[in-house]
Amino acid sequence: MHDARTIADNVERVERQILAACHKAGRNPNEVKLMAVSKTHPVEGLSAAYAAGLRLFGENRVQEFQLKSPQLRAHGLEVAGLAGDEARAVRVHLIGHLQTNKASKAAGIFTGIDTLDSFRLAKRLHEAACTLERQLPVLVEVKLSAEGTKTGLEPESPEFAELLEQLPDLRHLEMRGLMTVAPLDENQEVARACFRQLRELRDRLSTQHPRLNFHELSMGMSGDYEIAIEEGSTMVRVGTAIFGARPKPA
């Protein structure tokens, strides 16, 4: 399953489909990044994806990546954004929910955090980044539908407004944009509506908060990344279509 040939073929196919989706939507392919979601897969999989040209990875658990990051180093790969030789660097972002008590650990092992969902967490990450003397890129996770995942901030909530108010003063956090997970639904128009909502929210917020950067729109997964690209995604998070099915939890 983690055969390097298969992964290389999958990467090539996904990249071709991204190009086609960009073409269809009249978008510049340079504006869409492919994040390989390597959660649950061994570092041999990451290494094969690296060999196929990928440099951006997504992991969803602090503990899992704590175990994997020394193994990455054993494969000759460094995690970008942390101290060290960055010649063979990969960017690894956290895309799963982060508990406040794991914030400082996360700030020490990931290139960036794509699931910022409270001011409390932002403060903890900022303190940790400050101690580590680094800049930490973040995306704010937005929850757009009741059926979607439980994580993320609702765009009309006071917590969301508070976070955006405070972010410019947290100098060690680099706000880069928004992230969302669309609800699982047979009907792809449900995902499309969700992606469109995130883009419209971004457009609105960028005028309301000129000190913050909302460039990045992380949306779209294996089942719906082409639609996400049509709706403005700048970063698609693709796991299954690259690495194959994830083992079911026991």
Ligand X SMILES: *Cc1c(COP(=O)(O)O)cnc(C)c1O
| Site residues (vs ligand X, CB under 6 A) | 37, 39, 60, 95-96, 181, 221-223, 237-241
**114 near 141, Cβ under 8 Å?**
yes
Please say which residue, 170 or 176, places its beta carbon nearer to ligand X: 176
The distance of closest approach from Cβ of residue 84 to ligand X in the complex, given in angstroms and rounded to an integer, is 27
Task: Closer to ligand X by CB, 126 or 237: give it.
Answer: 237
Q: At closest approach, how far in Å is the CB of 222 from ligand X?
A: 3
> Is residue 210 a contact partner of residue 175, using CB atoms and an 8 Å limit?
no
Please state the closest distance from residue 40 (CB atom) to ligand X, in A. Answer: 8
Least distance (Å) between residue 110 CB and ligand X: 14
Which bin fits 152, alpha (ψ -120 to 50), beta or left (φ > 0)? left
Nearer to ligand X, 47 or 60 (CB): 60
Nearer to ligand X, 166 or 222 (CB): 222
Residue nearest ligand X, Cβ-based: 239
**63, 112, 213, 249 from 103: Cα distances, Å:** 12, 12, 22, 25
Distance in angstroms (rounded) separating the CA atoms of residues 185 and 197: 16
Would you say 186 and 223 are in contact if contact means Cβ atoms under 8 Å apart?
A: no
Q: Nearer Cβ to ligand X, position 37 or 48?
A: 37
Handedness of CA 29, 65, 185, 245 (dihedral sign): positive
CB of 168 to ligand X, least distance (A): 26
Q: How many whole angstroms separate alpha carbon 238 and alpha carbon 36?
A: 5
Strand residues in 6-126 grouped as ranges (E): 33-37, 56-59, 78-79, 89-94, 112-116
The CB-of-201 to ligand X minimum distance in angstroms stands at 18
Of 96, 87, 103, residue with least CA distance to 50: 87
Q: Which is nearer to ligand X, 49 or 170 (CB)?
A: 49
